[in-house]
Structure 1
């Protein structure tokens, strides 16, 4: 497997995981984001997405909805990108 095939498979797996989280609300936040952005992401950006997706759905949904502040270990810059993408989709 070449490096190109490796990153391509990783992107595909992350898109699948984004749409099959366990809660429909987070599927609808992370699925469209992953579909729109993973093809342009490099390994470091995929790492950021993977780290965010490793969080549990209930707290992640509260962060996305602005109901709670994420803990310090969460990549807030990347989370802000996901939230902005989700909000832009809601206003279309």
Structure 2
């Protein structure tokens, strides 16, 4: 599978999580950061998508410790939460 196809599939999965909060957190992170990802970072994100949304969100906002498999620069970037638009001032992406 080529990189563009993989990224399109991951985008769909990132934006169709089941709750609006998870969509914005995970989908917003994907949209903001995926363009520059290495192959290893793509694999990391794909594994993250297999985890429960409740866990991913808890890791991202710091209410649960991040498992070793997901600790590192990618999770730190997700924890920055600077990629989620503010509905009062930013344009929201509608999915």
Category of TM-score, reference length = shorter chain = 0.7 to 0.9
Judge conservation of contact 2:62–2:79 (CA < 8 Å) in 1. Answer: no
Following superposition, the deviation at residue 73 of structure 1 comes to: 2.7
| TM-score for both structures, normalised by structure 1 | 0.77
- Aligned residue-pair number: 87
Q: Which runs of 4+ in 1 moved over 4 A?
A: none
Please say if residues 24 and 84 of structure 2, whose CA atoms lie closer than 8 Å, have aligned partners that are also in contact: no
Matches within 5 A, 1:24-35: 24-35=20-31
Q: Deviations over 1:17-54 (max 9, x none)?
A: 11001122111111112112222223211111112222
2-side partners of 1:21 and 1:89: how far apart?
A: 15
Structure 2: 5+ residue stretches without partners: 91-95
Is 1:23 paired with 2:19?
Answer: yes
Q: Name the TM-score, length of structure 2 as normaliser.
A: 0.75
Q: Tell me how large the CA RMSD over aligned residues is.
A: 2.1
- Secondary structure at the aligned position of 2:69 is classed as coil
Of 18, 38, 43, the residue aligned with 1:42 is: 38
Secondary structure of 1:87's match? coil
